[in-house]
Structure 1
Amino acid sequence: MFTFDQLAGFIAVAEELHFGRAAERLNMTQPPLSRQIQRLEKIVGTELLERDNRKVELTHAGKAFLEEARRLMALAERAPVAARRIASGRSGLLRIGFTAASGFSILGPLLEEIAGILPDVDVDLQELVTGEQINGLLTGQLDLGLARPPFDTEAFDSHLLYRESILLAVPSGHRLAGLKRSITHADLIDERIIMHSASDARYFYDLVVRLMPIRHENVVHTVSQILTMVSLVAAKRGVAFVPHSAKVLGIQGVEFLDLAGGEGEPVELHAIWRRKVENPALRRLLKELSFGLE
């Protein structure tokens, strides 16, 4: 295989079309430069230059090889720069998992911050439930998650990004909206409930059943996504417990009501990552965002 010194020598001769000037440009004498070109031609398997006592010219093969030689030299020059940029976290790839509901609240602003801090880092987004994000982080398929608690604090470090309340979504004009007060459990006894899946939306399911006793016979639909839930409310299929950020969906035909005892902000969203940070881009981001890294 040829060396970069041989490529540099060939490029100099091809551009100068003169061995003496090319040698001077490379700060070497002409005989070793001539030997470099001869060895290169032997490796390539064809003549790259036509030379006699009066002139030097590129062969057809030499012209083609010159373009590739320049490309290889450019890559060789860029490679150390690229490696240093990746090592410093200024370029590379950041893989982020996010829950669908986080897209209503924090995802957009966070991506804007990331773009400002790491403008040359590619961001790969994957919509995943919290359990899938945790698996992705543990297997190295994700660098950062936007997830719901609980998670293993021994394995993961985290930063609380967002807290919000739970509201009751009802069809526009629903009788509960006419009460003009916070909704109680007694108000829901005869209501059809669109409920969170106990398996695929466990976080919201647990929050809701702690807040309001849910009668199983009232549940008419079980879903895992907030968007689906609000769409079913708009279709007058029932009422649903949703995070405050669901308001930004702007789905027509839905009103959002406060819940009695739901004045706090129990819905949490955390940025989570493995305690041993291996991706330099993630390390740089966490430092810039003051997420706890020194």
Structure 2
Amino acid sequence: MLERSHLVIIRTVHELGTLTEAAEKLCLSQSALSHAIKKLENYFGTAVWIKEGRRLRLTQAGQTLLNLAQRLLPQFEHSEQIISNIAGGGQGCLRIGMECHPCYQWLLNIVGPFLEQFPDVDLDVRQRFQFGGMGALLGYDIDMLVTPDPLYSLALEYLPVFDYEHVLVVPKSHALANKPWVEPCDLSNEVIITYPVEPSRLDIFSQFCHPAGIAIKKHVQIEATEILLQMVAAGRGFSALPKWLVESYQESLGICPLRLGKKGLYKTIHLGFRKNEQRPAYLNQFIQMARENKTEFLTAIT
């Protein structure tokens, strides 16, 4: 019969490659691991892995078990963490995934009051995911995803928080700064500086340049917002960011926002969750605080 311990063994062997390393990590003997898997193989009548020298290669049956382990084990571990927190007198941990780099400034306005209201709740903010934010949410690596580009799934739901305009950022000294808006052709010979996000998910490309058949001169990726904006201010290239973020830096850095196209490009920040899952009280309160904070935040920075 298939048990959780079998899934743990399969996942560990896959991660480390050898029975020796897996046994050491799990604090078990190699014979104990081999016996457990042999018993499982006898039960199903098929091999789970094949030895190739010191390393083990999963068979088709083993790969099926690995897929199951990667789906189920994070859910077990997440539930155990919550139960341990409750048993220890704590209320839990809220793990937030960020697919919106500029949204940290907005998030900081909520974190302080939230932690004050829930002193027994830990907060963890994660930005990089092996399979993207959607995969992290479905895989129980995070509890909530902050994103301007929701990828819809029957297992997920998204709540809109606030709308904003996505604009081009240029130095005030640049000739384009005097235009009421820019067209895609204005960027054909320019350097575009963005966060380290796949180009297909960047609006400046997917919704502005590419539909018009425009290819830019060069694409540069920078992770830190302040450095990115300093590069723009120094005339090293343009960027595309939320208007509220640009306006909070425009006086100090000498930059300005420009509308993308005559009608502009508008986005919405969403909070994503797993559907049909009971949310703890602190998560519902965070959602309420996020929605209440939007007007105050946008007013404060403009």
Normalising by structure 2, report the TM-score.
0.55
Q: Report which of the two structures shows the higher radius of gyration computed on alpha carbons.
A: 1
Instruction: Give the distance between the partners of 1:240 and 1:80, measured in 2 at CA.
Output: 45
Aligned to 2:237: 238
- Counterpart of 1:210 in structure 2 is 207
| 2:128 counterpart residue number | 128
* Aligned partners of 1:201 and 1:224 also within 8 Å: no
Question: In structure 2, what is the Cα distance between the partners aligned to 1:130 and 1:149?
Answer: 17
- Mapped partners of 1:255, 1:276: distance in 2: 43
Distance in 2 of aligned mates of 1:288 and 1:139: 25
Amino acid at match of 1:103: Y
CA distance 1:149–1:94, change in 2 (3 Å):
same
Checking the alignment, whether the CA contact within 8 Å between 1:182 and 1:260 is kept in structure 2 is yes
- CA apart distance, 1:146: 0.7
Using the TM superposition, give the Cα deviation of residue 271 of structure 1 relative to its aligned residue in structure 2, in angstroms. 0.6
Q: Give the conservation status (yes or no) of the 8 Å contact 1:195–1:219.
A: no
Q: Could you say if the C-alpha distance between residues 185 and 242 of structure 1 is closer, same or farther in structure 2, counting changes exceeding 3 Å?
A: same
Aligned residues: 203
Q: What residue in structure 2 maps to residue 59 of structure 1?
A: none
Query: How do 1:79-90 residues align onto structure 2 when only pairs under 5 Å count?
Result: 82-83=86-87
Cα deviations across residues 151-195 of structure 1 (Å, max 9, x unaligned)? 23311122111221121111231111134x222334444x41315
- Percent identity over the alignment is 20
- Which ranges of structure 1 fall in alignment gaps of 5 or more residues? 1-78
- Partner SS state of residue 232, structure 1: helix
Amino acid at match of 2:96: I
Q: TM-score, normalised by structure 1?
A: 0.56
Q: Match for 2:202: what amino acid?
A: F
* Cα gap change, 1:153 to 1:219, in 2 (>3 Å): same
Cα drift, residue 272 of structure 1: 0.7
Aligned twin of 1:54:
none
| 1:198–1:80 Cα change, 3 Å | closer
Q: Tell me what 1:43 maps to.
A: none
Distance verdict in 2 for CA 1:289–1:116, change over 3 Å = same
Shift of 1:95: 1.0
Q: Does the residue aligned with 2:152 lie in a helix, a strand or coil?
A: coil
Q: Is the alpha carbon distance of 1:288 and 1:211 closer, same or farther for their aligned partners in structure 2, counting shifts above 3 Å?
A: closer
Give the letter aligned to residue 102 of structure 1: C
For structure 2, the 5+ residue unaligned runs are: 1-82, 292-302
1:221 to 196, 219, 222: 219
TM-aligned CA deviation for residue 93 of structure 1: 1.1
After superposition, the Cα gap between the structure-2 partners of 1:134 and 1:187, relative to the gap in structure 1 and judged at 3 Å, is: closer
Q: 1:187 to 1:155 in 2, by over 3 A?
A: same
Measure, in 1, the Cα distance between the counterparts of 2:108 and 2:199. Answer: 22
**Maintained 8 Å contact 1:129/1:147:** no
Find the residue that maps to 2:253 and give its secondary structure.
Answer: coil
Residue number in structure 2 paired with 1:270: 270
Matching of residues 99-248 of structure 1 within 5 Å: 99=99, 100-104=101-105, 106-112=106-112, 114-115=114-115, 117-128=117-128, 132-179=132-179, 181-189=180-188, 191-194=189-192, 196=194, 200-205=198-203, 208-212=205-209, 213=212, 215-216=214-215, 218-223=216-221, 225=223, 227=225, 229-247=228-246, 248=248
- Which SS does the other structure have where 2:111 is aligned? helix
Cα separation, partners in 2 of 1:83 and 1:290, compared to 1, 3 Å: farther
Query: Cα distance 1:131–1:169, how it changes in 2: closer, same or farther (>3 A)?
Result: farther
Give, as a single letter, the amino acid of the residue that structure 2 aligns with 1:255: C
1:73-111 deviations in Å (ceiling 9; x for gaps): xxxxxx99954966xxxx22111111322214x312332
Q: Check the 8 A contact 2:196/2:223 in 1, yes or no.
A: no
1:211–1:261 CA contact under 8 A, matched in 2 = no
Relative to structure 1, the CA distance from residue 131 to residue 219 in structure 2 (aligned partners, 3 Å threshold; closer, same or farther) is farther
Q: Deviations over 1:250-283 (max 9, x none)?
A: 6614222223334352x22211111143663555
Q: CA RMSD in A?
A: 3.7
